[in-house]
């Protein structure tokens, strides 16, 4: 391990960055250094610009992926290398604001019914019932189920934040059925070996298979169930602040985007077209020309 890599690891550890973030940053810096065949400490703004152009035009990466590369470079040059040039001038690509595609309640049922494995179906039901990220669902422990208080404890979710979500009585029955069948010890959904949780990839593969079988044209990933959870709560009258706490969002603005897809806010508003006193009527189709 090079001294620069070791120091960057220490800097990230001091700031308690998530392990996934640390791994991603190191991967980005390694790719940047390999592209130029030189150590990053002798590269500068011009090489960074060239790298970004390469990622955009040659690698065809999305703005989100380029943003991760920029975040890694900013951290290394500002924190670890302490460069005196303005690191903030490394351009961060503007992220497109896309609305999530929302499954209806009937579509959620239809999709879950097509999940063949009891383990995969149960974990996806947990994701919907509690609005969990897939990594949060895969890392649930048996001890995280509090049937006395009827809550699920989410230990160190995104941003290393603990939170609790509601434990549906119906979900509790299904979790008890799952426990009777599998008898998990530590991890609620163990992977290939009992000492490790199920992998995210295994759940994503099961989700993709069920998506093909259910015939729903909308895109479906495990995260789609989290989007559906938030939107369905909003449509049933739950306030945005409560949904923010359940989802574990730091910013209320992140949660508020569901206002733009909830039928209770979008469809409940009367279009001005319906208020016109005498709306124009569609013209009848013209008669086909006579040929004789």
Q: Which residue in 35, 158, 200, 209 is the catalytic one?
A: 158
Residue 183: active-site member: no
- Cα–Cα distances (Å) from 269 to 70, 177, 279, in that order, read 41, 43, 18
Provide the 10 A C-beta neighbour count for residue 111: 25
Asked if 228 contacts 103 with a C-beta cutoff of 8 angstroms, the reply is yes
Provide the 10 A C-beta neighbour count for residue 21: 15
Q: Which residue in 25, 77, 128, 258 is the catalytic one?
A: 258
Q: Which residues contact 271 (CB under 8 A, 6 or more apart)?
A: none
Q: Which residue in 119, 121, 139, 249 is the catalytic one?
A: 249
Paired tokens of 26: 């190191």
- 151's enclosing H/E stretch is strand 151-157
Residue 110: active-site member: no
Q: Which residue in 133, 139, 227, 232 is the catalytic one?
A: 133
Paired tokens of 130: 């509690």
Residue 260: active-site member: no
Residue 83: active-site member: no
231/238 Cα distance (integer angstroms): 10
Residue 158: active-site member: yes
Asked if 265 contacts 259 with a C-beta cutoff of 8 angstroms, the reply is yes
Asked if 200 contacts 208 with a C-beta cutoff of 8 angstroms, the reply is no
Longest dimension (CA), the chain: 91
Q: Which residue in 211, 226, 227, 232 is the catalytic one?
A: 226
Of the candidates 6, 35, 24, 20, the residue with the CA atom closest to the CA atom of residue 66: 24
205: left (phi over 0), alpha (psi -120 to 50) or beta: alpha
CA-based angle 146:148:150, to the nearest 5?
Answer: 60
Residue 59: active-site member: no
Burial of 273 per CB tally in 10 Å (0-12, 13-18, 19+): exposed
Q: Which residue in 78, 83, 200, 223 is the catalytic one?
A: 223
By annotation, the residues acting in catalysis are 133, 158, 223, 226, 249, 258
């Amino acid at each position: 391990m090079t001294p620069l890599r070791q120091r960057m690891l220490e800097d990230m550890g001091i700031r308690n960055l998530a392990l996934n973030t640390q791994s991603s940053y190191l991967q980005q810096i390694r790719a940047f250094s390999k592209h130029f065949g030189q150590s990053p400490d002798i590269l500068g703004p011009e090489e960074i610009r060239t790298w970004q152009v390469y990622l955009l035009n040659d690698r065809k990466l999305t703005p989100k992926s380029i943003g991760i590369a920029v975040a890694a470079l900013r951290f290394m040059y500002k924190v670890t290398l302490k460069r005196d040039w303005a690191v903030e001038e490394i351009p961060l690509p503007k992220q497109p604001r896309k609305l999530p595609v929302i499954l209806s309640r009937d579509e959620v049922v239809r999709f879950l019914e097509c999940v063949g494995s009891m383990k995969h179906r149960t974990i996806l039901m947990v994701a919907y019932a509690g609005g969990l990220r897939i990594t949060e669902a895969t890392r649930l422990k048996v001890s995280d189920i509090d049937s006395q208080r009827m809550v699920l404890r989410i230990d160190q979710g995104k941003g290393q934040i603990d939170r609790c979500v509601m434990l549906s009585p119906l979900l509790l029955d299904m979790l008890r059925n799952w426990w009777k069948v599998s008898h998990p010890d530590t991890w609620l959904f163990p992977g290939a070996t009992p000492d490790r949780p199920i992998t995210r990839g295994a759940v994503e593969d099961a989700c993709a298979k069920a998506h093909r079988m259910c015939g729903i044209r909308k895109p479906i990933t495990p995260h789609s169930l989290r989007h559906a959870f938030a939107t369905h709560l909003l449509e049933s009258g739950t306030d945005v602040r409560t949904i923010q706490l359940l989802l574990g969002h730091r910013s209320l603005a992140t949660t508020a985007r569901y206002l733009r897809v909830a039928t209770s806010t979008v469809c409940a508003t009367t279009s001005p077209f319906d208020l016109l006193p005498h709306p124009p009527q569609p013209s009848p189709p013209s008669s086909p020309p006579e040929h004789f």
